[in-house]
Amino acid sequence: MKVSMDNMSYEDAFERLENIIAEMESGQLSLDTALQKFEEAIKLSRICRSFLDKARQRVDLLLRDEEGHLSLEQALLGEDLPSD
């Protein structure tokens, strides 16, 4: 199964990785397929790790303007909302 990995969410990558492990541990795969899964697993683990490695926290404020429209605004973190 070909899955586009470009926009894969962390959760999808994590779940796909769990599926691959189940398939590989079943011992039912041909060597060629296993090899493909092996490679896919490496890519998936990179997606997961690059997400986890993100270091910067982002805080947005959800505000409703006078016309009643909702908008997101990046919070300017002052003393009360400490940033690092």
Interface ranges with other proteins (CB under 8 A): 9-11, 14, 17-18, 20-21, 24-25, 27, 29-32, 34-38, 41-42, 45, 48-49, 51-52, 54-64, 70, 72, 75, 80-82, 84
CA distances from 61 to 11, 46, 72 (A): 25, 31, 6
Taking the complex as a whole, the smallest distance from the CB of residue 12 to other proteins amounts, in Å, to 9
| Nearest CA-CA partner of 45 in 14, 4, 81, 74 | 14
Taking the complex as a whole, the smallest distance from the CB of residue 4 to other proteins amounts, in Å, to 16
CA distances from 47 to 18, 43, 50, 53, 80 (A): 14, 6, 5, 10, 34
Taking the complex as a whole, the smallest distance from the CB of residue 63 to other proteins amounts, in Å, to 8
Considering beta carbons, is residue 1 or 62 the nearer one to other proteins? Answer: 62
